[in-house]
Amino acid sequence: MQDKLNELKRHLSEAYDLWNIGALLNWDQSTFMPKNGAAARGRQLGLMGKITHEKRTDPKIGRLLDELSSYEKSLPADSFDASLIRVARRQYEKDLRVPASFMAKMMSHFTDTYHAWVEARPANDFSKVQNHLEKTLDFSRQYAEFFPHDHIADPLIDESDEGMTVATVRPLFADLRNQLVPLVKKVAEQGAIDDSCVMKHFPEKDQWEFGLQVIKQMGYDFDRGRLDKTHHPFMTKFSLGDVRITTRVKENNLTEALFSTIHETGHALYEQGISMDFEGTPLAEGASSGVHESQSRLWENLVGRSYGFWEHYYPKLQATFKEQLGNVPLDSFYRAINKVEPSLIRTDADELTYNLHVMIRFDLELDLLEGKLAVKDLPEAWRARYKSDLGVFDPRDENGVLQDVHWYAGYIGGAFQGYTLGNILSAQFYDAALRANPSIPNQIRNGEFGSLHGWLKENLYQYGSQYSPSDLIQKASGSPLTVKPYIAYLQEKFGNLYRV
């Protein structure tokens, strides 16, 4: 059995490496690739998608999984070998449903669409991507039809958040929305906070250096990663020894680069914390997009936007930007970076209204997939939802339907629910960490993150995808997914900020 397991690992490792070569090509096209490389990159990624898919569906893997079935049953369910066989079987059976030729065409199309989006957004021209997006919708529906489902979006959601479906996400979102909207309304009635102190001119070089200092202290290992600029910030991994992050800088907005960098660092800390024993296997991945997003939001918001964090870092920030912040009190700065105000851009949204952005996208995705909404009508539907849900309106598509890269670099469906699941889980995991170590907030006030980072590595990161998302959430936090800690966190934080 050990010989068969080693042979399975060899096949899985080759598929793992091929996938990560594709990820490297994707990273390059989002950072350093010249514009005229787009056509060739589309072919290359299409070819890599086809080869990777063929490797992942090699009949030898299926035979080995069958031969190892009795061995798996003889092992503890959470052992490395049993977990590897179980996760590999789930991945293999899913991949087997999708033809390699389809994957090649779809991956190539995603690359073409991404480059059309890169040009369309700054040009404020949805027509440049409309035809691409219509094909993306077709590909998304076709992909979903390869799998049994109750709702057309279920296979796409399961791709990112195993075990979740439209039937589970909708009521969860409805519950959260019912509790969020009254709080947003109360806060809005208190009037706007002045955030002009973070909207001055902040030179890019100084922002960059400050961000590097912060994420090094949080624990990001630059011997296993690097930071670069891109159009839409992301984290990517080519191995457990090479986990990279990207950010974008606006010199007239101090919060953009700083919190984007911390956000992507949260993702990277998760990947860098996975057990090195899992390298080259399907276990060397985060458990789900929701669990992954919980880490970016935990570090960005519960840590990075906390008062205690800035008790330590604000004097250093003032020293970096003496002219801009030298006379701005900490309380004013803290209120500015936590200002609640309905806005057009999801990535710039405050903690309180952020989930409303996600819910709009989730609903629009379902309407598109269900055939209730045509792609050509998407920009107007987007504006109508923003006006009704957030009370804001902009006729420019660059601030509307073109703002997020997701639909222009992947499926329509399954991408956005993870952001709100992550927000919910960020508070749930942080609450569990505080129960285990109540001194964590005081340590953060001193710029010390070792205890928090250590708890997360021990209880969450090291396991990769060894456990299903629901089992991992239960194991790490002591309870199933629940909105209670998140709502309590928001009520306390913004209740104090806005005195409601």
Q: Are 114 and 405 in contact (CB under 8 A)?
A: yes
User: What is the sign of the dihedral through the CA atoms of 129, 130, 132 and 137?
Assistant: positive
251: its two tokens:
């010199």
Helix (H, G, I), strand (E, B) or coil at 90: helix
206: its two tokens:
């100084």
- Please count the residues of the chain: 500
User: What is the sign of the dihedral through the CA atoms of 360, 363, 366 and 371?
Assistant: negative
Do the annotations mark residue 232 as ligand-binding? no
The predicted structure's pLDDT at residue 224: 98
The predicted structure's pLDDT at residue 192: 87
Do the annotations mark residue 263 as ligand-binding? yes
- Domain 166-498 in CATH 1.10.1370.30: yes
Which residues of the chain fall short of a pLDDT of 70? Answer: none
Do the annotations mark residue 453 as ligand-binding? no
Q: What is the pTM of this model?
A: 0.94
What is the C-alpha end-to-end distance of the chain, expressed in Å?
A: 63
User: How many angstroms separate the CA atoms of 95 and 468, rounded?
Assistant: 18
Q: Are 132 and 361 in contact (CB under 8 A)?
A: no
The amino acid that residue 283 corresponds to is L
Q: Are 106 and 44 in contact (CB under 8 A)?
A: no
Which tens digits make up the pLDDT trace of 422-480? 999 999 999 999 999 999 999 999 999 999 999 999 999 999 999 999 999 999 999 99
Is residue 264 annotated as part of the catalytic site, yes or no?
A: yes
Helix (H, G, I), strand (E, B) or coil at 238: strand
The predicted structure's pLDDT at residue 421: 98
Q: Can you say whether residue 478 is alpha, beta or left, with left for phi > 0 and alpha for psi between -120 and 50 degrees?
A: left
Closest of 218, 264, 222 to residue 30, by C-alpha = 264
399: Cα within 13 Å, side-chain hemisphere: 12
The predicted structure's pLDDT at residue 231: 83
The predicted structure's pLDDT at residue 363: 97
Mark 416-429 as b/e (b = at least 16 C-beta within 10 Å).
Answer: bbbbbbbbbbbbbb
Closest of 13, 84, 107 to residue 55, by C-alpha = 13
Helix (H, G, I), strand (E, B) or coil at 229: strand
The predicted structure's pLDDT at residue 186: 93
Given 72, 159, 256, 264, the catalytic residue: 264
Which tens digits make up the pLDDT trace of 178-219? 999 999 999 989 988 999 999 999 999 999 999 999 999 999
User: How many angstroms separate the CA atoms of 19 and 13, rounded?
Assistant: 10
Domain boundaries, the chain: 2-135, 166-498
